[in-house]
Amino acid sequence: GTYQTLTYDGAGVSADRVRVRFANDGDTATGLDRNLRIDRIEIDGTTFQTEWPNVWSTGTYVDPIGCVPGYQESEFLHCDGYFEYSSSSPTGSTITVYAAAATGSERMQLLIDGVDVQTWDNVGGNYVDGDFQAFTYTAGSAISADRIRIAFTNDGATASGADRNLRVDAIAIDGLRYEAESPAVYSTGTWVDPIGCVPGYHQSEYLACGGYLQFADVASNGSVVTIHAAGATGQERLELQIDGSTVRAWDNVGGDYNARQFQTFTYTTATPVSADQLRILFANDGATVTGVDKNLRVDMITIDGTVYQTEAANVFSTGTWVDPIGCVPGFQQSEYLHCGGYFDFGSASGGVVSLVDSVIQVDEDAATTSVTVHRLNGSDGNITVDYRTVASTATGGVDFVEQSGTLTLLHGETEQTLVLQILDDSIQEGNETFGFAIDNVNGGASLGAPR
């Protein structure tokens, strides 16, 4: 409802001395039934809600009896009568709604058991950046979350043509928080591309159409994941993946890509998660219709307040441009996704690099021998490792050709074999050996043994 505010300046008045009376019940000249609705009274800044259980009513209609005196917990006077207030507040639940609106002209309603108990007009905050206002209501009794709906009731365009939308971050009941994007929250006003606004469990904070979020009596016991990101064009699509499956997507990522002004994107999981389960995916690489290149920049993620920087050495990327090669998988220590790909926060591994054998037997009757470099326990990203031959009882340049260099194993490659040349010095000798050593691994792998 939209209410008028009527003010009286009295001295030393307490709520238990106040009655609000409906005095002209009946029909208008056109036959419309007169009724009065009282949202609340305020005395020197203290609010007393009309629907509190300690407010006495003599004019509220109770079906099928009619208008009978009693504590009806209603805002309505349907018959001539009054509301008589109490000076004490009931020991009910305090409900706080955290919300923001797209235009500042949105109307939000709090419903308990399907009844509108509080309406807020001109909801503000910052809808895009997730800067939420807090709206508080005190109920007359204890309220559980499954009795609560948050409704968006004036969908449409403003006079200037701006589209009204409502974003609800969460509600809190007596300090216990319930996230709007929880899998247990049912929505009737969330836009699902390309279908439109359809009822369902959409795990979204947004009401793009007239509708409501119906909460469940399940407090969030999962993890709150927040992504700090910006798009180069404002048309980028960001997806959050958990254990390889996309659980949430955001289109038209904004912010300021160059100035490091990041938007925040929040998702609450049903159960706790760790960073090594997460991937941040850039899903629509390409150019805009005007030819501008889409790119995504991810500053960091947080999980339940713990920060994980994207440019950390253990973050694996499949979409970062490496000059002059291009977009290659690896531990690039970068915030940027230039190509379609993802950041993997900790589950990727460059592996452990070692040799099958570091001691080479010399058989001068053979022209060559071989040595194999293994990559175990992971093969993510391109890596390099330096190698060299090492003289022992066999002499370099006499019994074998000395070699050194850098070996590259590509993303997914788990071994390489190098061929070494053996020299025949025409001298009868016993068994001789030389060594083969590797060191200086780069690209996210570690060095194992033998080496």
Predicted pLDDT at 380? 78
Are 136 and 248 in a shared domain?
A: no
CATH number for the domain including 401? Answer: 2.60.40.2030
- Structure letter (DSSP) for residue 104: S
Strands (E) in 377-431, as ranges, are 383-390, 404-409, 415-421
Report if residue 411 sits inside a domain: yes
Least confident of 40-49, 88-97, 272-281, 395-404: 88-97
Report if residue 315 sits inside a domain: yes
Query: Residue 51 — pLDDT band, cuts 50, 70, 90?
Result: confident
Least confident of 293-307, 310-324, 340-354, 398-412: 340-354
CA distances to 67, 205, 326, 339, 390 from 322, rounded to whole Å, are 77, 36, 5, 11, 34
Are 339 and 233 in a shared domain?
A: yes
Strands (E) in 304-347, as ranges, are 306-309, 315-317, 321-322, 326-327, 336-337, 341-345
Domain stop point among 308, 330, 345: 345
Domain stop point among 84, 109, 129: 84
Nearest to 387 by CA among 345, 346, 440, 444: 440
Report if residue 89 sits inside a domain: no
Residue 215 has which token pair?
Answer: 């909460």
Report if residue 124 sits inside a domain: yes
Q: Which residues pair with 446 in a beta bridge?
A: 352
Are 209 and 247 in a shared domain?
A: no
Residues in contact with 343: Cβ distance below 8 Å, sequence separation at least 6, in sequence order? 279, 280, 298, 310, 315, 316, 317, 319, 337
Phi and psi of 370, rounded to 5°?
-135, 155
Are 399 and 371 in a shared domain?
A: yes
Please state, as a whole number, how many other Cβ atoms lie within 10 Å of the Cβ of residue 443: 21
Are 207 and 257 in a shared domain?
A: no
Residue 199 has which token pair?
Answer: 């009822």
pTM: 0.45
Are 244 and 328 in a shared domain?
A: yes
CATH number for the domain including 305? Answer: 2.60.60.40
Residues in contact with 45: Cβ distance below 8 Å, sequence separation at least 6, in sequence order? none
Are 269 and 338 in a shared domain?
A: yes
- Structure letter (DSSP) for residue 14: -
For residue 220, pLDDT beyond 60: no
Phi and psi of 145, rounded to 5°?
-65, -30
Q: Report the SS3 class of residue 421.
A: strand
What is the chain's mean pLDDT, rounded?
A: 89
CB 352 within 8 A of CB 375: yes
Phi and psi of 17, rounded to 5°?
-100, 0
427-441 confidence digits (pLDDT tens): 766 778 999 999 988
Q: What is the mean predicted confidence (pLDDT) over 296-302?
A: 93
Domain stop point among 289, 320, 345: 345
Helix ranges, 60-184 (H): none
Nearest to 203 by CA among 224, 179, 228, 221: 179
**DSSP calls for 179-239:** ETTSTT-EESS-EETTTEE--B----SEE-SSEEEE--S----S-EEEEEEEESSS-EEEE
Report if residue 3 sits inside a domain: no
Are 186 and 168 in a shared domain?
A: yes
132-161 confidence digits (pLDDT tens): 999 988 887 888 899 999 999 999 999 999
Residue 216 has which token pair?
Answer: 């469940």
Are 107 and 176 in a shared domain?
A: yes
For residue 65, pLDDT beyond 90: no
Q: What is the mean predicted confidence (pLDDT) over 405-417?
A: 90
Report if residue 2 sits inside a domain: no
Are 251 and 300 in a shared domain?
A: yes
CB 106 within 8 A of CB 123: yes
Are 275 and 372 in a shared domain?
A: no
Q: What is the mean predicted confidence (pLDDT) over 313-331?
A: 90
- Which domain range does residue 189 map to? 94-214
Number of domains in the chain: 4
Are 293 and 373 in a shared domain?
A: no
